[in-house]
Structure 1
Amino acid sequence: MDELPGSWLVELFLPTTTNDGTPFPREAFGRVRDELLEAFGGVTLFSRNPAEGLWAEGEGEGAARDEVLTAEVMTDRVDPRWWADYRRDLEERFSQEEILMRCYRLWKL
């Protein structure tokens, strides 16, 4: 897929702990911050109050839970291949099956 022109907001949801509950070191989030800053010239990392994510594991298994930090990038172009590669890299670094990313088209009012 080609780059998508326009103004975009990309959100990344990063887990604050490993699957066994061990907190990730601050350096892990600093690395993401620095990478996004270098690639896009700016980044916002919401780290004061981690959000809680819940999802159903399966029938009768209850809910799984994550606390996440959100990183946001505003950009004039989105390269889906770059973001897919970056997501795979983050999934490996944070030992996750999936790192959620969302991309929104922005309109200036």
Structure 2
Amino acid sequence: MIEVVVYCNPFVISQKPWNAWAVNGKMVLVQLLLPLYDNEGKMFPSHFFTALKTELTENFGGITTYTRSPASGLWKEDDDKVVYDDIIIYEVMAEELDLDWWKAFKLRLEVHFKQDEIVVRSWPITKL
């Protein structure tokens, strides 16, 4: 096994072992909806996303990124103001959902991207 070391990666919480093939194909699909721009409308630097891709690949053995055509997100804030955001989607498959790890990772993302919330969601799936 080759070990890859990434220095100054803000997303490193712990090195989790991964297994790309789950028993009976039962896995969890986890999606991260990531903003392309900060709250002032400035695009996040590409190294933010590169570091995140590296970390998720190391932890889960692979990643799918939907980056060619950003998705649009709309939501209402407390004062009924509609907020718009361009997002990209990263997703990984995991053998099981480690809620404590994902909650800590989500918090790290929210701090790093300076967001009130970053949506991280999961579904049980069967890998065929």
Please give the alpha-carbon distance, in whole angstroms, between the structure 2 residues aligned to 1:31 and 1:97: 21
Give per-residue Cα distances to partners, 1:79-98, cap 9 Å, x unaligned. Answer: 00000000000000100001
Equivalenced residue count is: 104
Letter of the 2:106 counterpart: R
Q: How many Å separate the matches in 1 of 2:63 and 2:127? A: 19
- Tell me the alpha carbon deviations over residues 4-31 of structure 1, each in whole angstroms, 9 at most, x when there is no partner: x941100000100000000001111111
Q: How many angstroms does 1:77 deviate by? A: 1.4
Q: Which residue of 2 aligns with 1:87?
A: 106
TM-superposed CA distance for 1:58, in Å, is 3.7
Q: Which residue type is aligned with residue 42 of structure 2?
A: T
| Matching residue of 2:68 | 48
Bigger share in strand: 1
Distance 2:45 2:95 in 1: 31
CA displacement at 1:57 relative to structure 2: 2.1
The two structures have a TM-score, normalised by structure 1, of 0.89
Aligned counterpart for 2:56 among listed residues 33, 36, 39:
36
Structure 1: tracts of 5 or more residues without a match = none
**1:20 counterpart residue number:** 40
SS at match of 1:54: strand
Stretches of structure 2 that go unaligned for 5 or more consecutive residues are 1-22
Normalised to the residue count of structure 2, the TM-score between the two structures is 0.76
Q: Which of structures 1 and 2 has the larger relative contact order (alpha carbons within 8 angstroms, sep 6+)? A: 1
- How far residue 108 of structure 1 moved from its aligned partner, in angstroms, is 4.1
Q: Supply the AA of the counterpart residue of 1:15.
A: P
Aligned letter for 1:22?
Answer: K
Q: Which runs of 4+ in 1 moved over 2 A?
A: none
